[in-house]
Amino acid sequence: MAYEMKAGEGSAFKNEKKEDWHADMRGKVLLPDGKTHFLDVWEKQDRNGNTFVRIKIGKEIQGRSDNPPKKELKDMKDDLPW
């Protein structure tokens, strides 16, 4: 069974950084409106030394949908006589 993202969820994986300013992790997130966007995550420390993460939701991923909209029964057409 393939992994299916749910609305409001996403995933990020370690990024092989080429520059220091690149995100520590990259991934994607499925917004509640059904659009998939890029996701960047940085591990940071505040002035007290506490670790936190900074998250940036990027541009929409165009022309590709990991979760195509599901058809409702009323939208399905068939040639059954009953």
Residue 46 to residue 64: CA distance in whole angstroms: 37
38: helix, coil or strand? strand
73: helix, coil or strand? helix
Kindly indicate the confidence band of residue 55, based on its pLDDT and cuts at 50, 70 and 90. Answer: very high
- Residue 5: its pLDDT value, please? 86
Residue 25 to residue 42: CA distance in whole angstroms: 7
Average pLDDT over residues 39-58: 95
Q: Report residue 39: phi and psi, to 5°.
A: -135, 130
pLDDT at residue 71 above 80? Answer: no
pTM of the predicted protein model: 0.67
Cα dihedral value 66, 61, 5, 8, nearest 10: -150
Q: What's the CA angle centered on 1, arms 28 and 6, to 5 degrees?
A: 35
Kindly indicate the confidence band of residue 80, based on its pLDDT and cuts at 50, 70 and 90. Answer: low
Average pLDDT over residues 7-27: 92
Q: Where are the domains of the chain?
A: 9-75
